[in-house]
Amino acid sequence: MTFKNKAIWITGASSGIGEALAYALHERGARLILSSRREEALKEVKSNCAGSPEDIHILPLDLTETDALDDKARQARDRYGRIDYLFNNGGISQRSLAVDTKLEVVRKVMEVNFFGSVALTKAVLPAMIERQGGHIVVTSSVMGKFGTRLRSSYAASKHALHGYFDCLRQEVHEHNITVTLVCPGYIKTDITRNALEGDGSKHDKMGRGQQEGMLPGEFAEKLLPRIAKQKNEIYIGGREIAGVYLKRWAPGLLNKLLLKTEVT
């Protein structure tokens, strides 16, 4: 399967994984809709893409403003006449002990990571069902498969994505719609730096795992061939990916290992 001439909507496209996906998909001839809250950063991403500017459309949005997402989806469809792929990539992380994390921070993480992705997906699904085709891609995390310290709200939001989109996959199968959950390990982005502390302030620190993580461009190049194969779940990262399998086959051992592991 090729991405050439496909209409692809990417959220969280102003930096990190979303930005890298924009470059990789543009190189493959896709027609892009790039979304995030930061319009100026989206313009910079667009300017970094060589070729036809008419094949890249900027559509700023805030995933917490769920009432506006139906109209955003209409604007996205109107641009190219359809949406072939939706990459739900927008998200936020958290770094604090559960006991020290205010409930409004928990809600903020869930609003962005879970409800934002659900609302945007629901906004594009009717047209995909009518066309009898489409592909929903959801950026989760290895934290969607197991949890560790300082990430309770983040892990909860990612676990919720798996529950929802596993069910959705079965519901839309008859309509020729694919649902893929992507579980990155450590990728060298600013997600940790931009994470929320327990009081809602910015963490503003780069964790060691992120510093030593895979570059976003390399991640995108590894991801897209697997997306093209319509995989249900995709795991990309370093040795932290082993935690996914330990959680299933040896959860007690994983718990012991995580208790001995330094987390930041």
Q: Report pLDDT for 55.
A: 92
- Give me the average pLDDT of each 10-residue run along the chain (264 residues): 94 97 96 96 92 87 96 97 97 97 98 98 98 98 97 98 99 99 96 93 86 94 98 97 97 97 85
Q: Report pLDDT for 74.
A: 97
Q: Report pLDDT for 210.
A: 82
* Ramachandran class of 51: left when φ > 0, alpha when ψ lies in -120 to 50, beta otherwise: left
d(CA 236, CA 9): 21
Global pTM?
0.95
Could you give all domains of the chain from N- to C-terminal order, each with its CATH number? 7-260 (3.40.50.720)
Write out the DSSP string of 143-166: GGT---TTBHHHHHHHHHHHHHHH
Q: Report pLDDT for 53.
A: 72
Known catalytic residue at 154: yes
Instruction: Give tens-digit pLDDT for 65-107.
Output: 999 999 999 999 999 999 999 999 999 999 999 999 999 999 9
Give the active site residue among 85, 154, 186, 235. 154
d(CA 258, CA 142): 13
Tokens 């976003």 correspond to: 216
Residue pair 89/10 in contact (Cβ under 8 Å)? The answer is: yes
Q: Report pLDDT for 245.
A: 97
Q: Report pLDDT for 52.
A: 67
d(CA 162, CA 138): 9
Instruction: Give tens-digit pLDDT for 182-207.
Output: 999 999 999 999 999 999 999 988 87
